Amino acid sequence: MSHSQKRAWWKGGKGAAAGLVLLAAVAAGGFYLRERSADAVPAIESAIQADGTQIKFKTEGETVQIFRDGKWEPLFLQGVNLGATVPGYFPGEFPITRDDYMNWFGQIKEMGANVIRVYTRHQPVFYESLVAYNRKHADDPLYFIQGIWSPEEQLIEKKDAYDADIVAQFREEIASDVKAVYGDLEMPDTQGKSSGDYKANAGPYLLGWSIGTEWDPEMVANTNKLHADKAAYTGDYFGTTAKASPFEAWLAGMVDFAAQTEAAYGWQHPMSFTNWVTTDVLSHPNEPLFTEDMAAVDATHLKPLHWSAGYFASYHVYPYYPDFFRYNAEGKGDTEADTYAAYLKELKAYHAGMPIMVTEYGVPSSSGISHVAPLGRSQGGHNEVEQGEIDAELTETIHDEGYAGAILFMWQDEWFKKTWNTMPMELPEDRRAYWLNVLTNEKQFGLLGMYSGLENKIRMDGDDSDWKKLKKDEKSDIAAEVPGIAGIEAAHDEAYVYLGIHLDHDFDPSKERIQIGTDTLPGGNKHGEELAGKTLDEGLETLLTIGSDEETSVKIAANYDMEKRLYGYVYGMIVMSEKEIKDDSGLFNEWKLPVSLKMEPPDTKYAHPFEDSDVGSLRRGTNSPASAAYDSLAMWQYEGDFIEVRIPWMLLGLADPSSLTAVSYEMPDKAFKTTAIDGIRFVPWIVNKETGEAAGLDTPDGGAYPVSQLAKYTWSGWDAVTYTERLKPSYSAMQETFKRLNATPKTGGN
């Protein structure tokens, strides 16, 4: 499915009126009557308590149970997290339509999922669509877990959960989200937040609540220090045990407030709060960062008092973060150790007697990597087939360790996301959603791929027929007066620059090497080993080499090298030599990004060296999904006299191609400086591997080759994106896994 999305700045909307109904809600203290414009309450089987309260799901021992066919049955929760954006939009803009939701719900259900999780309130259309979908599939509905977003930025800034403004904001968010789920909210237009008239009662399809977001450990520790006298809470429905900390008491109050708000609607659903490994309850002696093991938020320190639907623990657990997952394996001298399974086993044992779920896990299908993990489960560097294999393995592990649920992160790719090792170069920040940087792994966790505009038009397969079908305004000829090259065409989309190279002979990488330099800015290398003794009148920022599979790559001029400039020149973690700093050094470095920074005491517990990964190497293959050899990370291919290649924008030095912004040569200060450009010059030549001679850079007088006279490849900036939506092979892998697990829990673990 192909989409053309024009980004609209924040806007809200009102739903259409749907007739008046009278809703009766039962609470412990009596009846509440609300006259609302709402759809009729969906009929769904539930257990009715003595006071009239309805319960569809509850916790029992270490499982979550569903009331079905007149009895309670254990259920393994298997599903996906669902985001609130599509390409070209940021969180808070909520562009997803009813058609999108209805289509996605069908695909998610067909995958074998029984639950989706949303980590914030969506627009009214989400709840309307879910109710509409489930009415059509009343015999097997799709349930959801509603996350309630805490004031994350304020918590990190103030480091005090008891701050009056934070408490008020969070309680307001909780109340609004509960009302939205039950179709009882009119939210005025508010920039960055979902709004509108919530009239669809999705409460009967709710599986549970997840309160809050991943907790900042310094905030937790400081809250505990500031409020040592507030280590207990007893509410109407939830309270704390004698071992609770002040932060856990605060959290119990928020969970209790959510329960109070829901009880007014005559329903109870299982409660939880969001947690992650950084604030888990276990000790991690091999973790080098103090903050990753400085504070704990313990789910066993909260307890339901009068909440029949029960309570469960919820964790985000990825196999590559924090670093102890990796160092635990190395410490045992076994880099093949399954530290993920070992961690899950220990965490499960701690929470014995109560259900525990992993509500976020998974790996992305990105070319870029930001964390390395045992068993190849790194954060990035996987094609879509590999992504599916790893996601399926993790799901099986979670299930086999006796967890109550596994909810994969995530359903759709999200272009607005950022990653620590590429964000200093993605500038301006408020345009990240307009292009797809495949080096930023956070953007490509989805099972539903969101591909850039030419994905379905140009396939890396060595066949030029797709290039011939491109419209004239979709491609340009590149000046290439090089012996052996018949012509070069260029195209681009939101993710790549594409080159189609026609030779006058069949390409033989054992005998020749195609070199294409790029010039975007004044400066760079005018000479170098790769130019085989020739010189240029204007320098190159990057250099594309096409030869054997091992040597095909993009390299970067040493004084433009972004890793060396930031982590060498600025932070001193790696060596940037005096020669590399100089303009026209003649050196082209491998294009690398860090995966682990240099760590030394006293800032960390242990010393660890700086580590990086090569992101400039280009993988040969085909990105055609119809091919048995499909490789989503294939960047080039050749057949006979035709070569085609696609180059991620960042490898060419672009900070934001949508606004024609490039990273400048200035040394960075945390982030890089940028400059506007008006295009890219491509400078091709061919090197004979036997003689070492270069063809294509000769001049009549033997002087410098006039790069400055070459026409630039130009494009217009964009504020609208075109993207293609397609299920990845990882979807099929998860479908097989979910159907094999069959929503049946394995209590007790291994």
Residue 329 has a pLDDT of 80
Specify the long-range contacts of residues 501-508, CB closer than 8 Å, at least 24 apart: 501/546, 501/642, 501/643, 501/644, 501/645, 501/684, 502/464, 502/641, 502/642, 503/641, 503/642, 503/643, 504/641, 505/641, 506/640, 506/641, 507/638, 507/640, 507/641, 507/642, 507/643
What's this model's pTM, rounded to 2 decimal places?
Answer: 0.94
Q: Are residues 163 and 298 in the same domain?
A: yes
Q: The domain spanning residue 186 has which CATH number? A: 3.20.20.80
pLDDT band with cut points at 50, 70 and 90 for residue 10:
very low
Q: Are residues 367 and 506 in the same domain?
A: no
Q: For the CA atoms of the chain, what is the radius of gyration? A: 28
Residue 92 has a pLDDT of 86
Residue 32 lies in a domain: no
Q: How far apart are the first and last CA of the chain?
A: 42
**Residue in the block written with tokens 């021992």:** 61
pLDDT band with cut points at 50, 70 and 90 for residue 642:
very high
Number of domains, the chain: 2
State the average pLDDT over residues 707-716. Answer: 97
**Average pLDDT of the residues of the chain:** 93
Residue 403 has a pLDDT of 98
Residue 117 lies in a domain: yes
State the average pLDDT over residues 701-720. Answer: 96
Phi, psi of 732 (to 5 degrees): -65, -40
- Condensed to tens digits (0 to 9), the pLDDT of residues 242-283 reads 999 999 999 999 999 999 999 999 999 999 999 999 999 999
What is the rounded distance in angstroms from the CA atom of residue 185 to the CA atom of residue 111?
A: 32
pLDDT band with cut points at 50, 70 and 90 for residue 191:
confident
Q: Are residues 366 and 514 in the same domain?
A: no
- Flag whether pLDDT at 8 surpasses 70: no
Residue 330 has a pLDDT of 72
Residue 43 has a pLDDT of 79
Residue 27 has a pLDDT of 31
Q: Token pair of 687, please?
A: 């090197």
Residue 210 host element (H or E): strand 206-211
State the average pLDDT over residues 614-632. Answer: 98
**Residue in the block written with tokens 């937790």:** 220
Q: Are residues 573 and 503 in the same domain?
A: yes
State the average pLDDT over residues 179-198. Answer: 94
Report how far Cα 635 is from the mean position of its chain's Cα atoms.
Answer: 21
Among 409, 678, 669, 697, which Cα is nearest to 538's?
697
Q: Are residues 272 and 408 in the same domain?
A: yes
Q: Are residues 446 and 563 in the same domain?
A: no
Q: What is the percent of the chain with per-residue pLDDT over 90, rounded to a whole number?
A: 91
31-to-14, 23, 354 alpha-carbon distances in Å: 29, 10, 32
Instruction: Report the 10 Å Cβ neighbour count for 688.
Output: 14
121-to-116, 179, 499, 730 alpha-carbon distances in Å: 13, 10, 43, 27
- Condensed to tens digits (0 to 9), the pLDDT of residues 112-164 reads 999 999 999 999 999 999 999 999 999 999 999 999 999 999 999 999 999 99
Q: Are residues 687 and 737 in the same domain?
A: no
Residue 299 lies in a domain: yes
- Flag whether pLDDT at 26 surpasses 50: no
Q: Token pair of 413, please?
A: 């790719």
What is the rounded distance in angstroms from the CA atom of residue 441 to the CA atom of residue 691?
A: 41
- Condensed to tens digits (0 to 9), the pLDDT of residues 565-621 reads 999 999 999 999 999 999 999 999 999 999 999 999 999 999 999 999 999 999 999
- Condensed to tens digits (0 to 9), the pLDDT of residues 384-397 reads 999 999 999 999 99
- Condensed to tens digits (0 to 9), the pLDDT of residues 331-376 reads 555 557 899 999 999 999 999 999 999 999 999 999 999 999 999 9
Q: Are residues 466 and 524 in the same domain?
A: yes
Burial grade of 713 (CB within 10 A; 0-12, 13-18, 19 or more): buried
Residue 602 lies in a domain: yes
Residue 41 has a pLDDT of 64
Residue 508 lies in a domain: yes
- In the chain, the amino acid numbered 646 is R
pLDDT band with cut points at 50, 70 and 90 for residue 4:
low
Residue 52 lies in a domain: no
- Flag whether pLDDT at 12 surpasses 80: no
Query: Under a CB-based contact definition with an 8 Å cutoff, are residues 362 and 394 in contact?
Result: yes
In the chain, helix, strand, coil percent, each to 5? 25, 30, 45
What is the rounded distance in angstroms from the CA atom of residue 536 to the CA atom of residue 522?
A: 12
- Flag whether pLDDT at 48 surpasses 80: yes
Query: Under a CB-based contact definition with an 8 Å cutoff, are residues 86 and 412 in contact?
Result: yes
Sheet-wide strand order for 57-60: 57-60, 63-68, 71-75
What is the rounded distance in angstroms from the CA atom of residue 565 to the CA atom of residue 675?
A: 17
State the average pLDDT over residues 657-667. Answer: 98
Quote the domain boundaries for residue 661: 456-718
285-to-297, 325, 351, 601 alpha-carbon distances in Å: 18, 11, 20, 15
- Flag whether pLDDT at 321 surpasses 80: yes
Q: Are residues 499 and 359 in the same domain?
A: no
Q: Token pair of 34, please?
A: 């609300």
What is the rounded distance in angstroms from the CA atom of residue 275 to the CA atom of residue 258?
A: 17
Pairing of strands 405-408, 30-37: unpaired
Q: Are residues 410 and 466 in the same domain?
A: no
- Flag whether pLDDT at 86 surpasses 80: yes
Q: Are residues 367 and 478 in the same domain?
A: no
Residue 30 lies in a domain: no
Residue 31 has a pLDDT of 31
Q: Are residues 161 and 205 in the same domain?
A: yes
Residue 712 lies in a domain: yes
pLDDT band with cut points at 50, 70 and 90 for residue 637:
very high
Helices (H), 476-520: none
What is the rounded distance in angstroms from the CA atom of residue 342 to the CA atom of residue 339?
A: 5
Helices (H), 474-612: 562-563, 578-581
Handedness of CA 605, 606, 612, 613 (dihedral sign): negative
Residue 619 host element (H or E): strand 619-620
